Structure 1
C-alpha cells in the first residue's frame, strides 16, 4: 500500500480537525471505495500509534501487506490505498502502540460492520436512488415548533417478528408505515440503530457511529426504510448516543494504545452507572468526530431529527458519582464545561447545515435553557423531553382515584414550567422496562377502570402543551412489560378493550393534527388558559388550548370513576359547543356517558368568563369541546 494519491484529507481538513470544528470527517476518514471500483482508500486518526496497517479479506489479514503512512503534519492521521480491496470485504486497522502492544480495531468511521457477534468493518458504498424529493422539499414545515409532532417510538428488533427472526429494515418499513399512518403519528423515532455489539443494550452502547447495525441489513436497506417512510409522509428521528461508549476491544476504547477518545482518569472517563467510557469533550478531534457523526445521518440518510441521549450525564461532572469520585471544573464547579461547548457546536452545526431538521435533548434535570438559542445562553437544542411531566403524571395516575385529591398538584404543577422549554411529552421505553410494568399495568382499579384511566391519561397528554411521544405497544395497551426479545403482543390489539384504546390514539392524533389550537402554540403560554385548576375535592381539571387566530378547544378531565352531572365551566364564547372527543364513548371501550355530542353555553358568569357550560363529565374521562356557533 502506498500513500493515497487521491486522498481528500488536505491541509484545511487537518486544520479543522485540530481546531475541533470539522463536521464532515465521514468524507475524509475511514475505509472508502474509490470511484472506479478498483480498490479503496483508508485513513484513520491514531496519533500515538507506532505503526498502522489495514488487514482484511483481500490480503489474507496479513499485517505486512498494506501499511499506512502517517501524514507529515501533526494530525496523527494515517492513510493509504489498496488496489485490491473490494466492496463488501471485511477489514480492521492493525495498530502497534508504543511499547509494542498490538490492537486490531474496527474502523471508527466504517459505513457498515459485520453482523454481530463478528466485529470487523466492511467496505461499502452509500449509493441509493432516493424517491423522497417531495418530503425533503416540504419537511421544514412539518418539523417546526408550531407543527403537530406526534412521535411513535420503536425498537426495530422487537416491533414485529412474524417468524421469530430479527427483521430486515425493508421488511419492517412497509407494515410499520402502514401502522403509523393508520394511527396518525407524524414521526417514528428509532431507538439507536448505530452499530452496537450487545443486542441487550438496545443500541445505547454504540461502537459504530457511522454504520446502521447490520443486524437488520445493509445501508441500502436502511435507506429504503427511511425513503419509504418519507414517501408515506412520516418523519424519521434517530436516538443518538454521544454520551458514552462501551469498552469492547475492537471499539473506540484505548484506540491507539492510549485513551484517545475517552478520559484516562476514571473519575472523568468511566461511567459508573453504565460501566462504559465517557468521551473526552475537551479534545478537539473527539468533538469533530461526534459532530460529524450527527451530520452524517442527516446528510446521507435523510434523517429528520436526532434525539440526544443522556444529556444530563454529559452536563454534570458528578453525575452518578459520590463525593471524591469526580474532578471539579476549572472554576471548582460540577458543570462539564467541555461538554457544554460540544453541545453548542453540535446544535450550531445541525441547524446551520440542516435547518429543516431538529434536535431533542433527553435531559432529566432543571438545567436552564436547554432548548433556547446559544446566543441567549442556551444549549441550542430544538426541544427537550419533559421528564418532570412524565414522572409527576404517572405518579398521579398510579394513585387510587379516592386518594387523587391529595395529589392534585402533581397534575397541575407541570403548567408552572410548561413554557420554560420547548417540550416533548414522553411516555417512552424507559417507563415499561426493568420491572416498571406496562402503561396499562400502572393504572389502578379493575380491568374496566384500568382501561378508562389509560384513555383518560392519553386524552390529557394529547391536550397538554408539548409534542407527543408514545412507545410502541402503548397504542393498544399491551399488558406485558416490554422486552427486546420477541415481538409486541399483537394478538391483544384485536381484543375489544385494547382495540378501543388504539382507536382513541388514532382519533387523538387526528384531532391534534387538524385542530390548530391543540398544536400551534405548544411552546407558547398564549396557547393555554386554566379554567379550573383547583377542584381537588372532585379531582377535575379544565383548561383551554388556543390557536393564534383565537380558536379554542376546551379540555376537561374527570379523574375519578364518579360521573359529574351539571358541572359548570366558564367559556370564552356562547352558542353550541360540540364534543370533539369523549374518551368514554363506546367506540373507545367506554361506558357511553356524555353530553349527546354537544351542549349550549348559557349567559352565566363563571371562571372569569361571561358564558358557561353545564356538562356531564363521564367517569375517568377526558372531553374536548369546541364552539361551533356564537351566541
Structure 2
C-alpha cells in the first residue's frame, strides 16, 4: 500500500470541517520521504479532470509533474529534489475541459504583485523569543486588561525615501518592527491592528480582497520577516492583531473563483454567490471543507505566526442573505439570516478560545444581539465587537456647530443605553478618514484653531467611555489630510506646536487609560459608569464617574466642555467628601491643584464641587480614598468570583463544536461483509452526541422572537 501524506484520518476530519491544523497537510510542504528530500503537494479539487504542478523548477512545463487523484476529491504529488523558494502553480483541467492556472489556496508564501505564483516556504526554521509573552497571555482574561489599539496600514505608515528607484518605497517587515514598535511603545498603545497582511493582488482593496489566506504579503518581505515582526512586538510588550476576511474573495482568475470549474469555494446559488457592492464571491460556509479552510486559516495565524487576535471583517455581510443584495433568497424559516454563518462563527470562536489565548473581534454593523455572548447562550462567541453606533453618533456630534450641538446632545448620551449589552471596542478606524469623510481633525466643527481643542476633548470623552479603544494611524497627532494608501502620514505636522500638543495629550490619555483599572476593566459591569449630569445640553457639558463595581475607591470624575467658551463656575455632584485631585487637563499646563467637596446636595449626590473650565477643556479628578466597609469588601469578592467563573465557562463551552464520531477503521478482507453490515446498522442509528443541526429548530415562536430582536435563533435542546 502506498503511504499517503494526506491520510485517511486527515481526509475524515477535513470532510467533517474539524481539521484545525489543515495547513500542515494541504498545500506545498518541504518533507523527506524514504531519505529523499522534496516537496509534497496536496490539493482539494473534486471536479478537476486532471492537475499538474508547473513551476520554475520544471521550466513551467505542463504535465511533467502530474498529480494523482487519490480519492474522489484529493490530489497528491511528491516532487523529489524540489526545495524552498520554488515558484509554482497548479494547472487544472476543469470540469468543462478548459485549462486554468491557479495559485495554491494553502500557499505559505506568494510572489510580489503583479506576479501571482505561489512560493514553496519552510516555516519551521525561525527561532521564536516570545515564550514569556505567550505564557503570560494564557493566564490572562483579556477583558480585565487594557486594550488601546493602534490601527496601521504598513505601506502608508511611513515611506523609505532612500528607495528613489522604487515606486512603492515600502519599509520591510524588520525595519517596520523596530520603528513602529518604538512609536507605539513610546505612545503607550498596548496593541497594533495591522491591515492587509494576508496576500492580496490589488493595492486599492487595502488588503480586503484576499487571495492568500495562509501567506503574508510579499510587499514587505518574506514569511520569516513577518515572524520577526510579530516576535519583536511581543518581546517589547505589544500585542498584534490582524485584519482577516472570512466573508468573501475576489474574482481574479488565479484565485479561488470557480477553482475546479465548479463553484467550489463559493455558493452555487446565484442569489448568494456574490456581494454586488464589492464585486466579490461569498464563501459557501455550508460546505464543511470551506468552513474548515477558514477556521484553519485562523488557527494558522495564531499558531504559526503567534498573533494575538484577528479582526473579522464584514461580519454583518455574512449574517444576512439580504446584505447589499436587491434580490436575496430567504432561509427555510423565511428570514434573511444566513444560518451557516451563525454556526460558523459559533464553531470558530468556541474552538479558538478553547485551544488558544487569541481573540476574534467582530467588525459588525448589524443589530444582531449576543455577538459577544457565549455560543452556549445562543451568542456568536466573539471576544469584542466594534461599536459602530458610538462611532457614527459621536462623529455626527463633532461635525455640528457648537451653537447647535444642544440639539444633538442625545447623540453623546444615547450610546450609554446599550454599551454594556456587548463587549465593545470603541473605534475611530480607517473607514472614517477616507472617501471624502475628512480626517478626525477636520471632522471637528469650528475654526482651524478650534479644531485642536475640540479633538483633544473628543479623545478625552472616548477614553472615559466604557469599552476598549482603537485609533487609526495619524489621528493621534491630528493629521489634516485624509488617509491615502499610496502615500505616507503627515509626520512633519508633529513639528507644529498645535499638532504636537494633540499628540502629547493623546499620549497622556493612553497613560491614564492603561494605569487606571476603572477605565478598562468594565466589560459587562453596568455599575462602572455613572452619569453626574447628562442633561446640560444648553452648555454642551458632560460630567460622569468611572468607578469599580463595589465602591468609589480609585474612581475618576470627568468634566467635559464641548463649547469654545469658558464655563465658570460649574457645580457638579460628587459621591464622597475630601480632596479631589486634578490628574488631567486637555490644556498642556502642568498646574496641580485639588478641589474640596462641599457638604451640599448637587445632582442628586451628597457633595458638590465647583469647577472652572476653559474653552474645549476636559478635566479628570481622582476621587478621595476611603476605607472599604465589610459590605464593600464582600461585594468585591463576589464580583471577582463571578468574573472568573464567566471566563472559565466561556473557555469550556463545547456546545457548538461539531460532534464528530470516531472514524471506522477499514476491516480485514475476510470480515468485510460482516463489518459492512455492522457499520450500516451503526450509521442508521443516530448517535447520542450527534452534531447539532446547522440551522435553527422548527419552533416558530422562538424563531419569531429571534427575528424581532435580530438575534440568532436558538439551537434546539
TM-score interval (norm. to shorter): over 0.9
1:30 counterpart residue number? 27
Q: Which has the larger radius of gyration?
A: 2
Render the CA deviation track for 1:188-244: whole Å, top value 9, x for unaligned: 000121000001111000000000001110010000000011111000000100111
Q: What is the CA–CA distance in structure 1 between the aligned matches of 2:229 and 2:203, rounded to whole Å? A: 20
Matched residue SS, 2:91: strand
Q: CA deviation at 1:629?
A: 5.3
2:415 counterpart residue number? 414
2:698 counterpart residue number? none
Q: What is the CA–CA distance in structure 1 between the aligned matches of 2:366 and 2:260, rounded to whole Å? A: 36
2:314 counterpart residue number? 310
Mapping of 1:416-435 within 5 angstroms? Answer: 416-435=417-436
Q: What is the CA–CA distance in structure 2 between the aligned matches of 1:37 and 1:140, rounded to whole Å? A: 39
2:99 counterpart residue number? 102
Mapping of 1:342-361 within 5 angstroms? Answer: 342-354=344-356, 356-361=357-362
Q: CA deviation at 1:284?
A: 1.0
1:111 counterpart residue number? 108
Q: CA deviation at 1:548?
A: 4.5
Confirm whether residue 582 of structure 1 aligns to residue 617 of structure 2. no
Tell me if the contact between 1:569 and 1:612 (Cα under 8 Å) persists in the aligned partners.
yes
* Unaligned 5+ runs, structure 1: 588-594
Tell me if the contact between 1:44 and 1:77 (Cα under 8 Å) persists in the aligned partners.
yes
2:220 counterpart residue number? 216
Render the CA deviation track for 1:251-298: whole Å, top value 9, x for unaligned: 000001111000123310111111011101111100000000000000
Q: What is the CA–CA distance in structure 1 between the aligned matches of 2:598 and 2:88, rounded to whole Å? A: 76
Matched residue SS, 1:268: coil
Q: What is the CA–CA distance in structure 1 between the aligned matches of 2:2 and 2:175, rounded to whole Å? A: 39
1:602 counterpart residue number? 598
**Counterparts in 2 of 1:143 and 1:158: CA distance versus 1, 3 Å:** farther
2:671 counterpart residue number? none
* Unaligned 5+ runs, structure 2: 164-168, 628-717
Q: What is the CA–CA distance in structure 1 between the aligned matches of 2:422 and 2:26, rounded to whole Å? A: 37
Q: What is the CA–CA distance in structure 2 between the aligned matches of 1:41 and 1:4, rounded to whole Å? A: 14
Q: What is the CA–CA distance in structure 1 between the aligned matches of 2:36 and 2:415, rounded to whole Å? A: 57
**Counterparts in 2 of 1:4 and 1:549: CA distance versus 1, 3 Å:** farther
1:339 counterpart residue number? 341
Tell me if the contact between 2:160 and 2:170 (Cα under 8 Å) persists in the aligned partners.
no
Matched residue SS, 2:476: helix
RMSD: 1.6
**Counterparts in 2 of 1:482 and 1:142: CA distance versus 1, 3 Å:** farther
**Counterparts in 2 of 1:448 and 1:598: CA distance versus 1, 3 Å:** farther
TM normalised by structure 1 equals: 0.95
Matched residue SS, 1:280: coil
1:70 counterpart residue number? 69
Which deviates further from its counterpart, 264-273 or 365-374? 264-273
Tell me if the contact between 2:110 and 2:199 (Cα under 8 Å) persists in the aligned partners.
yes
**Counterparts in 2 of 1:40 and 1:350: CA distance versus 1, 3 Å:** same
Tell me if the contact between 1:145 and 1:523 (Cα under 8 Å) persists in the aligned partners.
no
1:240 counterpart residue number? 244
**Counterparts in 2 of 1:4 and 1:169: CA distance versus 1, 3 Å:** farther
Render the CA deviation track for 1:428-483: whole Å, top value 9, x for unaligned: 00000011111101111112210111001000001100000000000110011000
Q: CA deviation at 1:555?
A: 0.9
Render the CA deviation track for 1:96-135: whole Å, top value 9, x for unaligned: 0123110110000000001111010000011211011111
Confirm whether residue 564 of structure 1 aligns to residue 567 of structure 2. yes
1:475 counterpart residue number? 476
Q: CA deviation at 1:563?
A: 1.4
Confirm whether residue 85 of structure 1 aligns to residue 88 of structure 2. no
Tell me if the contact between 1:449 and 1:561 (Cα under 8 Å) persists in the aligned partners.
yes
Render the CA deviation track for 1:326-366: whole Å, top value 9, x for unaligned: 11111111000011111111111211211x22110000121
Mapping of 1:187-206 within 5 angstroms? Answer: 187-206=191-210
Q: CA deviation at 1:605?
A: 1.1
Tell me if the contact between 2:505 and 2:588 (Cα under 8 Å) persists in the aligned partners.
no
Q: What is the CA–CA distance in structure 1 between the aligned matches of 2:308 and 2:122, rounded to whole Å? A: 22
2:60 counterpart residue number? 61
Render the CA deviation track for 1:52-110: whole Å, top value 9, x for unaligned: 111111111222211111123x4x11011000311101001111012311011000000
Matched residue SS, 1:39: strand
2:158 counterpart residue number? 160
Tell me if the contact between 1:570 and 1:608 (Cα under 8 Å) persists in the aligned partners.
yes
1:590 counterpart residue number? none
Tell me if the contact between 1:143 and 1:149 (Cα under 8 Å) persists in the aligned partners.
no
1:330 to 329, 332, 352: 332
How many equivalent residue pairs?
616
Q: CA deviation at 1:162?
A: 3.0
Tell me if the contact between 2:582 and 2:594 (Cα under 8 Å) persists in the aligned partners.
yes
Which deviates further from its counterpart, 15-24 or 80-89? 15-24
Matched residue SS, 2:509: helix
Tell me if the contact between 1:143 and 1:357 (Cα under 8 Å) persists in the aligned partners.
no
Matched residue SS, 1:394: helix
Tell me if the contact between 1:562 and 1:618 (Cα under 8 Å) persists in the aligned partners.
yes
Tell me if the contact between 2:311 and 2:362 (Cα under 8 Å) persists in the aligned partners.
yes
Q: CA deviation at 1:37?
A: 8.1
1:171 counterpart residue number? 175
2:612 counterpart residue number? 616
